[in-house]
Structure 1
Amino acid sequence: MMRTRLLMPLLAAALLPLSGCASAQQTGAPSLAPRPVEGRFDVAPPAVIAEPPGPLPTDLAGRLARWESDATQAQQAFAAERDGTAALVSEGVGASVGSERWVVAQQAISRLQSTRAPLTVALADIDRLYIDRSVEEQVDGLPDIYALRDRLADMDATQRAVVDALQAQLPEE
């Protein structure tokens, strides 16, 4: 009997919200069923037709060729300097900071880093060109510009990894 008294209020509390739903339907509350107008939007959006980019404009072809030439020359200078730098860094490994061998190795890394300048300048210029043409919505030649930018970025990342690896061999200041 005691259990029944405890369960009655709980049962009433559970059924009370359900009775509200039943009374809402009887009072003419709006239905949640789909309306006829809702089906009008079940259509595919129209296809957007975008013109493919055209060829590279002639005024840009010369600039891209110059940047590629600069990057190639920088890559050759970097390759020529790399082995000598690696030898000097290996001599500086274990040397104390500020010692003669450490300073010579740091100077070699600086010379190696300076050979990268034409590549980094060309990469910055091509980034600026790509952004400017994208903002102005001038898509002609963008695939060529991006392809060169991608090649230069790969060269830059490879060279940076070499410099970082050499620098990591020496003790820090």
Structure 2
Amino acid sequence: MRNRVVLVSILLAAGCSSPMTKEPSLAPRAAESIDPRLPIPDPVPTGTVNAELAARLNALVETARAAAPAFNAQESEASRLAASAGPMASESWIAAQQALSRLVERHGVTTRAAGDIDALAANRLEGQHWIRPSDREAIAAAAAEVGSINNAQTEAIQRLTSRLAR
């Protein structure tokens, strides 16, 4: 019995000893602490924007800006008609719906400009497999400006649509 106790204690002590081989640690590595969602800084200097791209972006932004006053005028008319609209399918409701349809059509100018900006970026990526940082910043700025015009117009259309849906 005593031999068994000695044998068991020897086996238990052997299980607690450190291994003879040097195995890698399971502790986290330094690289594992980097958040993979963080953008990698671009080491390429910004440089100047491609002149052709800048001209095209300026034209698209100007198209959206120029269409905004006409949209605003049609929005005020559509809002007036929607405020005085009667029940669904009445003459006044139909007139308000038609004004809303013309407003949506006018909104198409802005959405086409936004789509064309996206297409410029996509074409550059497809053709060159990357976009220079200066061009990327110019595209982002143009998209942001047209996007803010688009968001305001979309909100107006949604507001009128919900008013006429009652």
TM-score, normalization: structure 1?
0.71
2:147 & 2:12 partners in 1: Cα distance?
65
**Closer, same or farther in 2 for the Cα pair 1:58/1:161, shift >3 Å?**
same
**Is 1:122 aligned with 2:116?**
no
1:162 is aligned, of 156, 161, 165, to 156
- Give the equivalent residue in structure 1 for 2:72: 79
Mean alpha-carbon deviation: is it higher for 47-56 or for 135-144? 47-56
2:136 & 2:42 partners in 1: Cα distance?
18
**Is 1:143 aligned with 2:156?**
no
State the shift of 1:23 in Å.
2.7
What are the ranges of 5 or more consecutive residues in structure 2 without an aligned counterpart?
1-7, 32-39
1:96 & 1:42 partners in 2: Cα distance?
67
Q: SS of the residue aligned with 1:98?
A: coil
Counterpart contact for 2:61–2:145, Cα < 8 Å:
no
**Closer, same or farther in 2 for the Cα pair 1:48/1:167, shift >3 Å?**
closer
- Give the equivalent residue in structure 2 for 1:107: 98
Q: Which has the larger radius of gyration?
A: 1
CA RMSD of aligned residues (A): 3.2
1:28-79 per-position Cα deviation (integer Å, ceiling 9, x unaligned): 74478878xx9xx879xxx987113321111112211210121012111111
1:117 & 1:57 partners in 2: Cα distance?
27
Paired positions, count: 146
Counterpart contact for 1:130–1:146, Cα < 8 Å:
no
Letter in 1 for 2:109: P
2:10 & 2:101 partners in 1: Cα distance?
83
- Give the equivalent residue in structure 2 for 1:24: 15
What are the ranges of 5 or more consecutive residues in structure 1 without an aligned counterpart?
1-15
TM-score, normalization: structure 2?
0.73
State the shift of 1:90 in Å.
0.4
State the shift of 1:133 in Å.
2.9
